[in-house]
Structure 1
């Protein structure tokens, strides 16, 4: 069992050493040190989180809330560093998703959750 955790830690270290992670970390640091960008991003994420929670709880989202979210998104879209960060976050998310797919593929085969051919 310890061997599995050792391999998982090796994978975490490899991910941390990756170009994607390094770029993401640098972009995070750039935005953290830029008060305006940090505030813009925090506001955007706050609105986003609020809407997601309402959706999960089955609450109705008002037209006003949708417009507010749209305005926040338009604001962050105008900030080059924030857009770079979001693109890099998306790339990292895809990378982690692909790794997860590889790791869990034996379970998918075992439980037959992979798409059936034929």
Structure 2
């Protein structure tokens, strides 16, 4: 019988060798090599994290905070490499989501999630 942990490690190795991961890794390195791009992306992610933390704590997010987040997003989208990185992150997230759906199918079947 196959060990699920061994299969998970095998899948992780496959993911790491995938074209999607390679592109993501290359773009991540390019951003980190560019001090301005790295700072821009770090600022954007810090704004995102701050808003997520407020939401998780049940605090209301102000219109000013929403506008600041939108401004930061528009700023990073104008940087070509950051924009490419974010697109590739989205593709990787979609890939992992699809894999997760496949992995959890037996549980969904067991509990009848797909019925109805």
Same fold? TM cut 0.5: yes
Aligned partner of 2:66 in structure 1 is: 66
Aligned partner of 1:51 in structure 2 is: 51
Aligned partner of 2:33 in structure 1 is: 33
In 1: Cα distance, 2:107 partner to 2:63 partner: 43
- Deviation for aligned residue 1:2: 7.2
Which stretch shows the higher mean deviation, 63-72 or 84-93? 63-72
Aligned partner of 1:95 in structure 2 is: 95
Q: TM-score, normalised by structure 1?
A: 0.93
CA offsets per residue over residues 23-67 of structure 1, 9 Å max, x none? 000000000000000000000000011011111111111121111
Q: TM-score, normalised by structure 2?
A: 0.95
In 1: Cα distance, 2:62 partner to 2:94 partner: 31
5+ residue gaps, structure 2: none
5+ residue gaps, structure 1: none
Is the partner of 2:61 in helix, strand or coil?
Answer: coil
